[in-house]
Amino acid sequence: MASFAEVPGFSKEPRDLVPSDKISLPSPKAAQVAAPLTQGKQTDDATLLLQVEGVLEEGDGVLDDGSLYDAHTFTGQAGQTVAITLESIEFDTFLLLRDSEGNELARNDDIDADGYNYHSFIALTLPADGTYQVWANGRDAASRGRYRLTVVETTPEQAAPLLSRAALGQVEANQLVQQGLGQFNASQFQAALQSWEQALAIYQAIGDRSGERRALSSLGLVYRHTGDYRRAIEFDEQSLAIAREISDRSSERLALGNLGLAYLNLGDHHRAIDLYGQALAIAREIGDRSGEGLALSGLGLSYLNLEDYRRAIEVYGQYLELAREISNHGGEGLALSGLGIAYSNLGEYQQAIDVYEQYLELARKHQMHDEEIRSLGNLGNIYSSIQNYQQAIYFYELQIATIKSQDNGVNHQATLLEAYWQIASIHDNNTRDLRALLIASEAGLEIAEAMDNLEAQASFLLFLAETYGNLGSYDQAIAAAERAIELAGIIENPNTEAVALVVLADVCHQQGNHQEAIDTAKKAIQISLETDNPWVRARSLNVTSLAYSSLGQYRAAILAAQESIDVATSRNLPRLLPMAWLSLMNAYSEIGDYPALLRALESFSESNQTAINTNAINAENSLPILEAFELFVYNLYMVTEGQYQDVVDNIRGFDLSTLNDSPAISEYSLRDFEGGMQLLLAMGFGGLGQYHEALDQVKSASAVFESQSSSLQGTAAFLAGSLYRRLGQLDMALSSYRQASILDHRFYVQAGIARVYQDMNMPELAIGYYKKAINQIEAIRTDVSSLDAVLQQAVLQSFADFDGLRAGDIYRELASLLLSQGRISEAQQVLDLLQVEELQEFTQTRATWTGTALAFTDAEQAVIDAHGSLIALGGRILECEATNCADLNTLYDQQEALKAQYDRQVEAFNRTIRANRAADDVFQNPDTLSGDAERLLAAYAEAGETAVLIYPFVLKDKLWLVWATAGNVIGSVEVPVPQGDLAAAVQRFGELLNRPNTGSLADLQVASQRLYSWIVQPLEEELEKNGVDHLIFVNDRVTRYIPMAALFDGERFLLERYRVSTVLSPAVTETGGRLGPVDDSQVLGLGLTQAVAD
């Protein structure tokens, strides 16, 4: 074996071949195509000295680098200039010239490496006569194939390579390959495709199989990069076939790896593993350590995609070891990254953190900036996975800072976008740090806009819309949500549109535009049904429930909240359950179903615990505020139960500072919650009669609510009105109630105004506002009429004031006031409205609701309308104050004018009352007897009976007897018997009836006659005068327990004098038919007088 050591200074690195002053090589363009010459023949200025068509093959001479060579000789003379050309289209040539003594005279690797002409050429003036040796050699040990060697005599000026057309074609094809590579790197993929297709055609024409393989591999590259993996596979398979044909093991490994990558991207991971496995075997066979690493990397990624994390760890472990052995720092980083992913998916988080930290250390040590950025993101991801959000945010922010410090983020915009999105997601879903969420979202949006990434823009706009809404910046929230909806339409993403709609609906609700919120949420629900998006559906239903409650449509609110709970439960969305239960509790609170409220509170607590146990919410951040909400709702319930001292103790014992550091609640919401707790404390003090202390709490809360335009301003104003009334400051009370009515349209505000006017001894005005309150209650009762009977009855039990006043008591107060004013028929209507719901309370059944609204007299309607105008203007003023609009002073002037108009209307009303008190029956009785009562009496009249309806109406200090007969004859009698005395008499009468051994018949008659004296005797004169023969009682409260037929007048029982009936209410009494004959009824009656033991 010849050794390069025998050649002085031998090296295959390019160097000057001859001194520049001896000969100058022409441009490659001067190269000629050699004609078929014979040795010694003269052609133009060149004489052929040697021409050989040879083959480098096994058995040839081998140099010490493993490359093959053939040695050829020619005879030359001193001073003779020769041009030696070695060309091959099958391998990269290397040419050496030696003299007869074995001394190296010249060498050449490439004619023009920059021009991709890899043939070899030497031009030299021979130093002496003699035999010269030319070595035809390959560039490396793999060089094999045919070659052509020519030596010609020429002149220094005309010396040039003699290349065949095939060789020149190869040069052109090589140039096209390199041109395509430049185009590919510039992302000019179509141009690269054209260049490589042209190169392929040339290689195929000249029979350059190695070049053909290279062009095919390049075409596969561009198709892989553009995502057309099927086409890439076509070209890579052809490349593989040629590599195997020409026994190019290195290229075979390359083709197998390319095919593995294509199949991996197609999701055929098993096929990818097979191909990478073949590539790995070849790489190890030929000692290609770099190729071995690439194959291991592909195998590791394939196992990750198959979720075979143990195998992935095994493969990446080998890759890591190899990369460290060959100092492949990039490969080492990839191996560490793959190991981190595998460990993370196995839940072995500490191992994942360890390898990611090694990755970061490696990147920083070797100044691998991209890898450093990637490793920081990996650490952020793993800490987010284990819910260490503080550390996750730390690494994301460090990643952002690192990017900006290197290139101001220009080359890493996608990574910046991802980092900001991760930070925003953590704050949105876990920490609830709204200020930090706002900063991250605004930064992310700016980058998304710079990248023209519409999908990302929509995502960050959704973050911003919800955050602005939670911070009370409603205009900005609406603008962001509407822009997100617009972008969702452009990118045709219905899920993004649905999320944006529900966010917009929530903002509209918070802003007080409740109907718009409902309409918007319904659009989101429709999309969620079409796309099967349960999160949007549950969230939209929740917003809808809250908006319906704000509009007083409690039936719809309850149904929406219940459906939201059902969706969140059935579709395993524990994060949404707490808010759904809060919505349901809100509706129950509004209608006064406090037992249901308490049950919902228990479910709320359970849902919170479930969400925490399943990591749906962060316990550390969210638990304090959830527990605070539980405390709030529970104490609201305690207020309704009259447990005022407990409420005061509970609220005073709550440390509000525990929420100050909670990122789960915004500063805006925290202050709102603080004000709400102060209102609860005020209710407790008010219930205890400590009105000044209560008023201090209300004033403090009002200042908070007013500063941030809170929806609780109305509640605070109502409580202030109630407290001022109890303190005797009636003007202040009326002013507060009016302020409350601007923001809070619920019945108890109107009832509060009525009670103030009653305290001012203005009963006629009080009656108008009582009517308005009752009509609002009736609207609610009608709205919930299809729901559970208990829920319907709960409306009348809803809390209305500190003294235990319930909605049902408002009916009683109005009826009492009407009776005191002699407006008997209107009182009878109110009693009819009350009886149906008290019937449901008594029987716990689903009776049919037939109540109607109370009518206003014309004078009452005028006052109510004027007050409504004043309220509407007050709402406009509040909106204007919030935005500091230009019309504020004008609105203030209008308010003063409208107040004066209202006062004039009230005075006119009082004059009308005085003028009509005695003369105008229509004024006093707008609808006379209620329709239900009139129909019942008419039915008995048609049957030939003279019946009278008797309503014993029980009040705390008296008993009213309201009676009515057919023809709209009505009357009332006030009986001065306190409710307690009446109840005691009823209890004694019942005891004597049920347990005869407790008294004599005389005792029974005395007890019965006492009740007779209160309930029937005051009506005896009217009964006798009108020839009444049938008494129909519509009983109230304790009188329901009296068997009226057993009342005793001193001589006879009532049943001996009259037919006696009891109806639950005229509204639910069937008058269209009669029972048939007894003989036609199949009835079995059973009774037991005394139980006998077996």
HSE (side-chain half, CA atoms, 13 Å) at 1084: 1
Contact 757, 766 (CB under 8 A): yes
Domain that holds residue 156: 4-163
- The alpha carbon torsion through 816, 822, 827, 829 (nearest 10 deg) reads 180
pLDDT tens profile 617-661: 666 666 777 788 788 888 888 888 888 999 999 989 888 777 776
Instruction: Output the CA–CA distances (angstroms, integers) from residue 181 to 187, 264, 294, 890, in the order listed.
Output: 10, 24, 21, 74
Q: Please tell me the pTM assigned to this model.
A: 0.61
CA-closest candidate to residue 891, choices 877, 901, 902, 878: 877
Name residues whose C-beta falls within 8 Å of residue 409's C-beta, 6 or more positions apart in sequence: 403, 416, 447
CA–centroid distance for 790 within its chain? 35
CA-closest candidate to residue 208, choices 263, 169, 180: 169
Within a domain: 943: yes
CB neighbour class for 47 (10 Å; exposed up to 12, middle 13-18, buried from 19)? middle
- The full DSSP string for 363-411 is HHHTT-HHHHHHHHHHHHHHHHHTT-HHHHHHHHHHHHHHHHHHHTTGG
pLDDT at 896: 62
pLDDT at 913: 46
Given 140, 163, 186, the domain boundary residue is 163
Name residues whose C-beta falls within 8 Å of residue 753's C-beta, 6 or more positions apart in sequence: 721, 734, 737, 738, 741, 769
pLDDT at 177: 95
pLDDT tens profile 289-302: 999 999 999 999 99
Token couple for 150: 């020519």
CA-closest candidate to residue 970, choices 1066, 827, 855: 827
User: In one letter, which amino acid is 677?
Assistant: M
pLDDT at 35: 36
CA-to-CA distance for 484 and 500, rounded, in angstroms?
6
Within a domain: 919: no
DSSP 430: I
CA-closest candidate to residue 592, choices 412, 808, 322: 808
DSSP 1032: E
Within a domain: 125: yes
Sheet with 104-108, edge to edge strand ranges? 61-62, 68-76, 130-138, 93-98, 104-108
Contact 717, 736 (CB under 8 A): yes
Within a domain: 100: yes
CB neighbour class for 89 (10 Å; exposed up to 12, middle 13-18, buried from 19)? buried
pLDDT at 928: 46
Token couple for 860: 């009452």
pLDDT at 620: 67
HSE (side-chain half, CA atoms, 13 Å) at 972: 24
For the chain, how many structural domains are there in total? 2
Within a domain: 630: no
Within a domain: 772: no
Instruction: Output the CA–CA distances (angstroms, integers) from residue 224 to 191, 231, 471, in the order listed.
Output: 15, 8, 48
Helix (H) or strand (E) holding 97: strand 93-98
CA–centroid distance for 835 within its chain? 47
pLDDT at 870: 46
pLDDT at 879: 59
Q: Domain containing 127 — which CATH number?
A: 2.60.120.380
Q: Domain containing 1051 — which CATH number?
A: 3.30.420
Contact 741, 749 (CB under 8 A): yes
Within a domain: 116: yes
DSSP 806: B
Within a domain: 72: yes
Contact 815, 774 (CB under 8 A): no
The series of mean pLDDT values per 10 residues for the chain, 1094 residues long, is: 33 35 32 36 67 94 92 95 95 94 93 91 95 95 93 94 94 95 94 96 94 96 95 97 93 96 96 97 95 96 96 97 94 94 94 95 92 93 90 96 80 91 90 87 95 95 92 90 96 94 92 92 96 95 92 89 93 85 84 80 81 70 76 84 90 80 64 85 92 93 77 84 93 89 77 90 86 81 56 47 71 83 74 61 38 55 54 54 63 58 54 45 42 78 86 86 78 88 88 78 90 92 86 87 91 92 73 60 61 54
How long a stretch of residues is the chain?
1094
HSE (side-chain half, CA atoms, 13 Å) at 569: 13
Contact 797, 594 (CB under 8 A): yes
Given 146, 163, 180, the domain boundary residue is 163
